[in-house]
Amino acid sequence: MDWERIEEKLDQLLAQSRHGQLRGALMMLNPVDIAGYMKKLDKEKLLLLFRILPKDVSADVFSYMDSDQRQMLVESIADAEISALIDEMFVDDAVDFLEELPANAVKRVLQNTDPRTRAIINQFLKYPENSAGSLMTIEYCEVSQDMNVRDALQSIKETGVDKETVYTLYMLDSQRHLIGSIPLHKALVVSEDTALAKLMEPGTISVNTLDDQEVVADTVRKYHLLSIPVVDGEGRMVGIITSDDIMDVIEAENTEDIQKMSGLAPSELPYFKSKLLVLAGNRLPWLMVLMFTSIVSGAIIARFESVLAINILLSASIPMLMDTGGNCGQQASTLIIRGIALGEVKFSDFFRVLWTEFRVGILIGIALSSVTFVRLLLINQATPIMSAVISASLFCTVVIAKSIGCILPLLAQRIRVDPALAASPLITTIVDACSLFIFFTIASNFIL
């Protein structure tokens, strides 16, 4: 059954107030899809549907809903109901949600939750945004050194952590220091009498509560992990982060990089959720800076006014030089920025990168300038000397653009500025000034 027919069916049941059937139908769907369906409902129907869902499903659905819809729900239902919801949610999802609420609402909601949950949530709210601490959940399975497989399985049954976070068992010592981990699958293929210590994988990879989410994502991706334990400053285990949450982090970090590379202030809000003034405000600062730096290029043109007057072909070549230079610089900077982000390129590779880009620039410069030379001679019927001047300028522009394009991101990384900022817009502006300067210098020496 395709999604449109499912939606139609749900609409029908909702319109006919067949709540029993509706509940049955919803139970067949994934919480993500239920949240998707709810997006188009008005407040009243949203509330109705939400209350029809069993409590554990509604908590799941709630964590996948839009923040404005969650806000709407919270305003409509009683505090006790919200608190029950929070008790049912994963701690990390609950914290995410509470961070969106105004401070007084958080207080009101937390008053009604179970005191243990409250204590944990309060602790979580103290971690910096986008830190490992704010991403983690505390629902994981810990075991001690003297346990065997049977004890571990029994402990899973007793604590009843009915979550996918039980797939790694973490072995802690009496001070709660993380000493190793046991993938659950290893425990399932051996006799129940086997000591867990025998199955333990030492040197478990972990992150610190204060590590940035980018570090967490890089580590999880590098080691192909399903989840990663989080330890505090003293090496005591406090939680875990699962790979499904890491995927969202990876996409968010990529979005941030891409935005910075286009001269945008990074924004986590989806396009249509952003207010007009915010959209404009995120773009203005860089535009303003770059507009002023491009005045340098204008000044170069003004200074060489007399050269321009010689032949209109010179003025007409300015866009080609500027555009090609900008594009070459952007290509080089993009490759290097991406290489840095994926850990393939480091500052210590500086000369190796520069040497590579220099040679690539020469190859591309030869290709583009020889085509241009022939074009000017045959199509524009320029003199050989005029054609040579313009093609030579193009060649130099390409080589310089490639070099600047790779140097700037590496330098940015060196001085601990995000390399993504040294991308296209900035490089285009710098390359423009350089290419015009070369152009006029060559032209005034060979034609005047």
Q: Let me know the angle formed at the C-alpha of 107 by 102 and 109, rounded to the nearest 5 degrees.
A: 95
Instruction: Figure out which of the listed residues 137, 209, 297, 391 binds a second copy, where binding follows CB under 8 A.
Output: 297
Give how far the C-alpha of residue 210 lies from the chain's centroid of Cα atoms, to the nearest Å. Answer: 18
DSSP at 143: E
> What minimum distance in Å lies between the beta carbon of 425 and a second copy?
5
Number of residues that bind a second copy (CB under 8 A): 115
Closest contact distance (angstroms) between CB of 41 and a second copy is: 19
Contact by Cβ (8 Å): 242, 165: yes
83 vs 424, which CB is nearer to a second copy? 424
Torsion angle of alpha carbons 181, 214, 101, 229, nearest 10°? 10
Residue 262 makes contact with a second copy by CB under 8 A: yes
The nearer residue to a second copy, 49 or 249, going by C-beta atoms, is: 249
Binds a second copy by CB under 8 A, chosen from 80, 119, 125, 367:
367
Nearest distance from residue 122's CB to a second copy, in Å? 26
Taking CB under 8 A as the criterion, the residue among 21, 294, 441, 444 binding a second copy is: 294
Contact call for residue 295 and a second copy (CB under 8 A):
yes
Residues 25-44 binding a second copy (CB under 8 A) are 28-30, 32
Site for a second copy in 109-148 (CB under 8 A): none
Interface segment toward a second copy; rule CB under 8 A; list 67-75, 120-128, 302-310, 440-448: 302-310
Q: In the window 66-95, what residues touch a second copy (CB under 8 A)? A: none
- Interface with a second copy in residues 314-343 (CB under 8 A): 315-320, 322-324, 326-328, 330-331, 333-336, 338-339, 342
Across the chain, which distance is largest between two alpha carbons, in Å?
93
Degrees to nearest 5, angle at CA 138 with 136 and 141: 120
Position 164 contacts a second copy (CB under 8 A): yes
DSSP assignment letter at 417: S
Distance of CA 35 to the CA centre of its chain: 23
Residue 21 touching a second copy (CB under 8 A) = no
CB closer to a second copy, 261 vs 400: 261
- Which pairs with CB-CB distance under 8 Å and at least 24 residues apart come from 278-286? 286/425
State how beta strands 141-143 and 168-172 pair: parallel
| Rounded CA separation 123/95 (Å) | 10
Give the nearer residue to a second copy in terms of CB position, either 103 or 277: 277
> What is the closest distance, in whole angstroms, from the C-beta atom of residue 195 to a second copy in the complex?
18
Handedness of CA 3, 4, 9, 10 (dihedral sign): positive
Rule CB under 8 A: choose which of 284, 374, 378, 385 binds a second copy: 284
Name which of 186, 181, 217, 219 is nearest 202 in CA terms.
181
Among positions 372-391, residues that touch a second copy (CB under 8 A) are 372
Residues 340-359 that bind a second copy (CB under 8 A): 342, 344-345, 349, 352-353, 356, 359
Asked if residues 296 and 405 have their Cβ atoms less than 8 Å apart, the reply is: no
HEC per residue, 85-128: HHHHCCHHHHHHHHHHCCHHHHHHHHHHCCHHHHHHHHHHCCCC
Q: Does 57 bind a second copy (CB under 8 A)?
A: no
| Residue from 88, 96, 211, 432 binding a second copy (CB under 8 A) | 432
Interface characters, 207-246, with a second copy (x: CB under 8 A) = -------------xxxxxxx---------------xxxxx
Q: Which stretch binds a second copy (CB under 8 A): 117-125, 169-177, 248-256, 440-448?
A: 248-256
- DSSP letter at 70 equals H
Residue with token string 């509604």: 58
